[in-house]
A and B are shown apart, each in its own frame.
Chain A
């Protein structure tokens, strides 16, 4: 055929790079990937190979977590006989070193693409029609690419809620390069998701006074209830001022050059008037937090506007504006596909990688592959971190029929016995009694992220409680607790229809490559 490319990918983030690299390198397709020029804070003109994960997400976030965790080590050392130290952190120096590392990784992504034979084109990619993509470079030049397939992998971007003065607040992009808060200054974080709690830990560890403003009753909606509570408690113990049931109403510049965050909370002792309307009648009182910065970690939206999707006839979700796709990441337009955060399925880097890999196999491997979204392990890098895989207690009750045993272990990590740190590790395992299958593992505690990865593999093997128990513990570790839970804390009744948990077929969704 006469068309120039087999695949043109818009967006060189985790998913776009993975799909393009495999299409070209493994299946021999002719692939071009379009990405905006590199920059740490994203916009319509700024992006960079590696995408959110490498430049404005997982990687810089984890580096900041590392940086902030040292203050924990300085504190804990005393209990182990070390003399007390109170070093200070030079945030500018740290951010400069971090930026260098991010730039290095950005370069690595470019090399990976080059090596796989993917053509990298800098500029803004716009879909003109189902087989044409226009690239607008920053120097104003325009180029049109003809292609058999188009992959939309444009990711997402942080959004601010529409309240007065929202323009005074920053988002996570800027929070990752925040260097103008004075030492010991105050930062207010609005939001209850994982980004909010992670930054609360980071800024608190780096020595700032942190207020976390949460509209609901607990942080981390969607996670297991007991974990949410514990994360809230831990934040408090580490000095974060957690404001629950608090709705920000407006931001104002104050006389000190800082920002006043005005909010509303239910009046203490104020009765809820539960008439017809659900809660609007609650009595409120107002309050205010004065701080140096306000970070809105209130959600992200897919990058799907202004890239020609509507013109090409690609259907978007009404509410979220995410690209609508089927299980093979196929949009309603036969030649257009979409993966990653812009489809708003499960917005995690490794999930985008899985989708990218599946797409390459579907398009060029002759092996239509649907990604499997069950039992995806994930972590929240609050401090100590949270790790989770499988169903939460609420999900299990909702989905499954039959008894469910809940095993709970709460213990003081060995390190804390001497450091004196008043934090406990919490683990919860859910077992579907009729099948003995382990259906969920959730924990908050040191190294939770590293620990749940292996549990995730076991769950993909349809592991039973008996199989967990048959494994010998690694002693002394926290993880050994997962194989030594001998008696259920409680038994609950599933209220769902599924007679047994989803059985993973051997081999799952990924092919070797």
Chain B
């Protein structure tokens, strides 16, 4: 999967906005989007929220987990544990990136939040690398990792599976040499 595809899937997440226009309820294939009244918060998918923000038609409210103290606690918890801890949202990385790039003026302490989320991401990717490394060394047959988000899986997934394929090919090529002789002229 492409990182852009994962971001596309993440854009279905709901966020709260405060529109400055009014519109009746709209009926889309994916679901209904409630009536829009200026000044009243309404939940919409992320793709619509970003589009409205770019057209200056709404104000974004940060999701409740996007708060400096909560993220600090999560980051410290992540650093202490050896396995992966549950993340505030299955698409936390994409949400952070999109919201902070397009609506950083609506999110208080945006710079600190960016640093904290990046810290969490780095810790988790490091744990993923360590776990992949030990998987290969000990030649395990299967592994189970909880609480991984799709973006993290996608970052290392393709490389890991292709590397394992190559190693399988190299390993299966070793054995025939021990049992048969190579053909001579």
Chains A and B are bound partners: no
Report which A residues bind B (CB closer than 8 A). Answer: none
Report which B residues bind A (CB closer than 8 A). Answer: none
